[in-house]
Structure 1
Amino acid sequence: MTQAQKAFGDLLRRGPSLFSDLQLLNTQHLAEIYVLAAFTQTAIPFITESHWLYRKQNGAAPILPIFLESLFGKELARISFFRAYLEEIELKGFKELKEHLHCLEVALIEYIRTRPAPEQREFSRSSLLQMSALFAEEESWQPTGISLYRTFDRLDEVFELNYEADAGMKIETIDGGERLYEGAGVGVQSGYSTVLTALNHLQLCDSARFVDLGSGYGRVGLVVGLLRPDINFVGYEYVPHRVHISAKTAERFQLHEHVKFEIQDLSLAEFSIPEAEVYYLYDPFSEETYKYVLDQLIEISRRRSIVIVTKGNARKWLLDVAARENWSQPKQYDSGNLCVFRTRSA
């Protein structure tokens, strides 16, 4: 058992009265505890629901330790050190445990936000590394296991991604048809699972160029910047206040030398998408803009090999293009939410 795991167990056994002791732990330990707290919050309802389904299908309630055996060999392996406590409190104690987990996560994030920017940066990077390992494990138990898609969204608070900035947003467009996702909040961002799973599978070379077409509040760029300081990232976003927020965090975390965010209407004829090794699209455009952007990516792909990472409906648009341009068969990850297209060598 690691020191962070021991501290995690102690904090939960004694409850919120002990949360002030967070200041006694170093940044790496706090990151591990954050990931454990967020993950276990997601795991608790999964255990409860799985137990209920087993009882319904088999007509009898299984003994909890026996029931948990298979889960700790798979989905719950990350918290196997915590198994004895879960068996001790049984299902009747899960509600209070979940409340304590929520309070711990909130208290930890609030504490980290009071720390200097370098500590916040290290906390975020350490958390992302552990999250990345968890998402790699998740691929082995999907689609029937625990879904971690929104488990770690509270990390946005450390990044200071203020989605309330969209409130009352009024932006005029030339044709009135651009898709801006007004008021979509965290929904305007790719999930951490999507971004980290993409990085796990892309295996990008040093000094690769990464372009995000429709970067929203910049979550993709901040993750890439923290984990791959060797990669040059640029994110283009139509909405100015989203760019300002993401650029401010990049500067605060000293990522601004290799992570850039720019205000850009991608539908403008005078704008040319720069050449890069990787392009990321999260269903960000109207149909007309999609056609214009894809035409440019196709032209680039005819000159050089590129990778296009898609999320959401962007995959549908690219499937026809891939077949027509004789690209490699796309790979799907994250329960089909993420699709990676690799073009043929020029």
Structure 2
Amino acid sequence: MSAIEFTPQGPFPLINDDEHSYQEAQEHSVVVDEWLGFKTAEIEHALLSSHKYNIQADQNIPVNFWRGLPVQALQTPYTEIRHILHLLNPQKGQHIVDLGCGYGRMAFVVGMHYSDVHFTGYELVAERVDEGNRILQKFNFPLSTIKTQDLTDPLFKPVSADYYFIFDFGSAPAVDKTLEDLKAIARQRPIQVVARGRYIRHRIFQAHPWLAEINEPRVFDHFTIFKS
């Protein structure tokens, strides 16, 4: 294995997982974040010392703001995002939704390599959304947008789309609520769900047969692709 070379001409390379380690993918993502101009470390430090997100919303589903973690632990490496999109192979006019998108890394990979595909990212923490949108303004990606949204809000329903990306973002009730939202969409149209992380994948296999048992999932080291 060797370190992933960064070039501004191709900041999101398509490479096989066996050609690099996960740490090298994270290190490459640090360089890409710096090249894009993200100030994630400063924002996460400010969030950690802020009282803004200390109070739990008055609702039945616990909310996790994921403060205090290293930035790279919060976000999927760019090379992995590129690999996932290559596997999905979205077509012109289709729509990708990232449920819990952090700073919106996927928006940049979609915008650069799938410019005729729509992207919507939802993120709970407004400061992350603002920073993602600040960087997005440097590019001409009119089909990509990042929005502040609490996925556990009982009044919220994700936009109808072709593909959904979900990371381990909260408690069982929070994950179940989102998966039930997707189930309602799947009654109207076929969807694919990329579940990243051990817990979300376990939860789908354990409690959501509508997604896990209709079609054979495609299982990878860090994520699984489910098809309704």
Q: State TM-score, norm by structure 2.
A: 0.85
1:308–1:341 Cα contact (<8 Å) kept? yes
> Does 1:303 find its partner at 2:188?
yes
CA distances 1:44-85 after superposition (whole Å, capped 9, x unpaired): xxxxxxxxxxxxxxxxxxxxxxxxxxxxxxxxxx9xxxxxxx
Structure having the higher Rg: 1
Q: Distance in 1 between matches of 2:138 and 2:21?
A: 34
Match of 2:147 in 1: 262
Q: Distance in 2 between matches of 1:266 and 1:340?
A: 21
Match of 1:233 in 2: 119
SS at match of 2:164: strand
Higher RCO (Cα < 8 Å, 6 or more apart): 2
Match of 1:100 in 2: none
SS at match of 1:220: helix
2:102–2:128 Cα contact (<8 Å) kept? yes
TM-superposed deviation, 1:268:
0.9
SS at match of 2:219: strand
Cα gap change, 1:251 to 1:287, in 2 (>3 Å):
same
Q: Distance in 1 between matches of 2:194 and 2:203?
A: 12
Match of 1:150 in 2: 26
Identify unmatched segments of 5+ residues in structure 2. Answer: none
TM-superposed deviation, 1:337:
0.3
Identify unmatched segments of 5+ residues in structure 1. Answer: 1-38, 44-77, 79-104, 109-122
Match of 1:221 in 2: 107
Where does 1:128-167 land on structure 2 (aligned, <5 Å)?
Answer: 128=12, 131-132=13-14, 135-136=15-16, 138-139=17-18, 146-147=21-22, 148-153=24-29, 154-163=31-40, 164-167=42-45
Q: Distance in 2 between matches of 1:188 and 1:173?
A: 20
Percent of pairs identical after alignment? Answer: 22
Q: Which amino acid aligns with 2:38?
A: L
Q: Which structure features the higher share of strand residues? A: 2
> Does 1:126 find its partner at 2:28?
no
Q: Distance in 1 between matches of 2:76 and 2:100?
A: 11
Match of 1:319 in 2: 205
1:194–1:338 Cα contact (<8 Å) kept? no
Where does 1:14-29 land on structure 2 (aligned, <5 Å)?
Answer: none
> Does 1:195 find its partner at 2:78?
no
TM-superposed deviation, 1:321:
4.7
Decide which of 52, 56, 71 is 1:173's aligned counterpart: 56
Where does 1:252-291 land on structure 2 (aligned, <5 Å)?
Answer: 252-255=138-141, 257-291=142-176
Cα gap change, 1:268 to 1:228, in 2 (>3 Å):
same
**How well do the aligned residues superpose, as a CA RMSD in angstroms?**
2.3
Decide which of 330, 336, 339 is 2:217's aligned counterpart: 330
